[in-house]
Structure 1
Amino acid sequence: MKEIRKEDISQEVFDLYDDYAHNRLERRQFMEKLSAYAVGGLTLPSLLSFIMPNYRDKVQVRQDDPRLKSEFIEYESPKGGRTIKGLLSKPTNASNKLPGIVVVHENRGLNPHIEDVARRAALAGFISLAPDALTPLGGYPGTDDEGRELQRKRDRDEMLEDFIAAHDYLNEHPDCTGKVGVVGFCFGGWISNMMAVRVPELDAAVPFYGSQPEADEVSQIQAPLLLHFGELDKRVNEGWPEYEAALKKHSKQYEAHMYADANHGFHNDTTPRYDPEAAKLAWERTIAFFNEKLR
């Protein structure tokens, strides 16, 4: 089988995957359109295998890493009358209370990649909580395709309430200083933006390629924002000029970075959309931002 390299794949394939991953294409349509790129020695199965997430081989911080205490907990989401499962992680050598970070998944539930990201945040010296918005439907089902289908069955405003409740859980946790921020990816980027709108006590928000709140909601934002965008992510980026204008109009504290030649999902190291340099820089900036705002 021909070895596929990222540079061998046209941007149209990444755009096609983005449409599929965000429910703008059904699987049958995705496969039909993807088959047009299975040329020059590439087969459809090999192309599909290349572009889909590889969770098994990409974990950076394992669940049993001795540097961490990482366990699944349940917390109450009072406004919805729900109990939500989440991964709570903190350094094992922490002798003092730590700032908190809510880590918000993409549009497919708490998959292994986001669990990994939450553990990375904990290793940076925080207590992190990564909720699974699919808990009321049985939790992340083991594949992203099934996860997306389940998440489509939930109301996103109800899920927002569940993540706001995660902020409140961390805020009151005995191992937390009470200073809490949020970082989220894709759907989680929208959640991060909306938590900045809805939670006056939020201390920092870091949306990665997230959809924006309505312009008339921006005046409610109190938290400082650090926003990350991929230059090739036309779908999300088209809403940024209006959002930035509203942030400036209301004199909100924000910092935004556009990563050259980076796709939507560039921080996710389990797919070929991953951009190592952009991801490394964005994460370094994220941790530095949380250290500044939460300590």
Structure 2
Amino acid sequence: MNLPTDQSHNEAATVKAIPQEAFDWYDEYAHGDIDRRTFLSRLGTLSVTGLTLSVVAGALTPNYALAEQISFNDPDITASYVEYDSPNGHGKARGYLVIPKGVNVDNKAPAVLVAHENRGLNPYIEDVARRLAKVGFVAFAPDALFPLGGYPGNDDQGRAMQKELDGAKIEGDFMDAATLLKNHELTTGKVGMVGFCFGGYLTNALAAAMPDTIHAGAPFYGTPAKGNLDQIKAPLQLHFAELDQRVNATWPDYEKALKANKVDYTAYIYPTANHGFHNDSTARYQEKNAELAWDRTVSFFKETLSA
């Protein structure tokens, strides 16, 4: 994050002072286990010297101005919103397509499908797509909320909107996006997938449901696919946060299934990290772990999608 030095130090001090309970409660709130009133009420019970309720709540909720690493106008990429047919989903869908400079029908590139969290295509996920294009991948990030008008501009409303949608149709929209990338005139036909939280689940799910389309998967703190684990062909690189008890509880059984089905996988657990540690718009962000995880992800895709 490109913050002035004093602001950066102040924010770092704020994050350090926030107790772990607050991060755990935010995770419950972000995943719909408690409502906003309960979340704020719990925060109000904390006694944190020098920090007000509004400061703590503000640090935990996204500030997307902090999340832009690659500009929409970066000369090395071309970004646009693209509608596509989704017969397996909502009929019509839309996503954010980012093409690297120099990619054309005579110079194709591998593709990466980017899956958002449980709140729609927010600015952080769009930036992730631009980061991938910046290093040479055709990146496509669908918006599950398109049938309801698209990401509304704030995560609270986005979460509520996504709950209204049929989960199977959301998966269908992403499956059809994967097919679009495989057949796109600018891609080599090799498709990787990366997703965060709900998008991590989608990454696991599509690897199981589309073994001939998804060639590599990198789920960040995602729960396992609900079926077809014996169908997975793609190598997986899985990223977990040490303090993420909810998702980590699902990993032992998932790992057993991957081993039983001889899936090529590598799993990383990042120390002292909370769920969402890669998202650089909130206090859960951990720069060192996020950068390490991202470097591993990019290297993984370069290795698995270039052959």
TM-score grouping bracket, smaller chain normalisation: over 0.9
Aligned CA RMSD, in angstroms, stands at 1.5
CA distance in 2 between partners of 1:65 and 1:247 (Å): 39
* 2:3 paired residue number: none
What are the Cα deviations for residues 60-80 of structure 1, in whole angstroms up to 9, with x where unaligned?
011111111111111111123
1:53 aligned onto 2:65: no
Q: Are the aligned partners of 2:67 and 2:127 in contact in 1 as well (CA < 8 Å)?
A: no
Q: Give the secondary structure class of the aligned counterpart of 1:6.
A: helix
Q: Are the aligned partners of 2:224 and 2:254 in contact in 1 as well (CA < 8 Å)?
A: yes
Q: Are the aligned partners of 2:202 and 2:225 in contact in 1 as well (CA < 8 Å)?
A: no
The partner residue of 2:221 within 209, 214, 238 is 209
* 2:190 paired residue number: 179
* 1:11 paired residue number: 20
CA distance in 2 between partners of 1:60 and 1:2 (Å): 18
* 2:46 paired residue number: 37
Between stretches 34-43 and 247-256, larger displacement belongs to: 34-43
Query: Relative to structure 1, is the Cα distance of residues 52 and 2 closer, same or farther in structure 2, using a 3 angstrom cutoff?
Result: closer
Q: Are the aligned partners of 2:94 and 2:142 in contact in 1 as well (CA < 8 Å)?
A: yes
CA distance in 1 between partners of 2:207 and 2:263 (Å): 11
Q: Give the secondary structure class of the aligned counterpart of 2:65.
A: coil
CA distance in 1 between partners of 2:260 and 2:159 (Å): 36
Question: Given residue 210 of structure 1, which amino acid in structure 2 is its aligned partner?
Answer: G
Shift of 1:94: 2.9
* 2:5 paired residue number: none
TM-score, normalised relative to structure 2: 0.93
CA distance in 2 between partners of 1:90 and 1:102 (Å): 12
Q: Runs of 4 or more off by more than 4 Å in structure 1? A: 1-4
What are the Cα deviations for residues 163-222 of structure 1, in whole angstroms up to 9, with x where unaligned?
0101011111110000001100000000000001100211011100001124x6311111
What are the Cα deviations for residues 217-271 of structure 1, in whole angstroms up to 9, with x where unaligned?
3111111111000010010000100000111111111111111111100100111
TM-score, normalised relative to structure 1: 0.96
The partner residue of 2:144 within 119, 133, 136 is 133
Shift of 1:128: 0.4
Question: Given residue 99 of structure 2, which amino acid in structure 1 is its aligned partner?
Answer: K
1:252 aligned onto 2:296: no
Q: Give the secondary structure class of the aligned counterpart of 1:66.
A: coil
> Matches of residues 59-208 of structure 1 in structure 2 within 5 Å?
59-94=68-103, 96-201=107-212, 202-208=214-220
1:277 aligned onto 2:288: yes
Q: Point out where structure 1 has 5 or more consecutive residues left out of the alignment.
A: none
Q: Are the aligned partners of 1:2 and 1:42 in contact in 2 as well (CA < 8 Å)?
A: no
Question: Given residue 71 of structure 2, which amino acid in structure 1 is its aligned partner?
Answer: R
Q: Are the aligned partners of 1:225 and 1:255 in contact in 2 as well (CA < 8 Å)?
A: yes
Q: Give the secondary structure class of the aligned counterpart of 1:179.
A: strand
Q: Are the aligned partners of 2:240 and 2:268 in contact in 1 as well (CA < 8 Å)?
A: yes
Q: Give the secondary structure class of the aligned counterpart of 2:96.
A: strand
Q: Give the secondary structure class of the aligned counterpart of 2:189.
A: strand
Question: Given residue 171 of structure 1, which amino acid in structure 2 is its aligned partner?
Answer: K
1:22 aligned onto 2:22: no
Residue-pair matches, total: 294
Q: Give the secondary structure class of the aligned counterpart of 2:228.
A: helix
CA distance in 2 between partners of 1:3 and 1:265 (Å): 17
Query: Relative to structure 1, is the Cα distance of residues 3 and 280 closer, same or farther in structure 2, using a 3 angstrom cutoff?
Result: closer
Q: Give the secondary structure class of the aligned counterpart of 1:79.
A: coil
CA distance in 2 between partners of 1:32 and 1:17 (Å): 12
Q: Percent of aligned pairs with the same residue?
A: 49
CA distance in 2 between partners of 1:219 and 1:33 (Å): 42
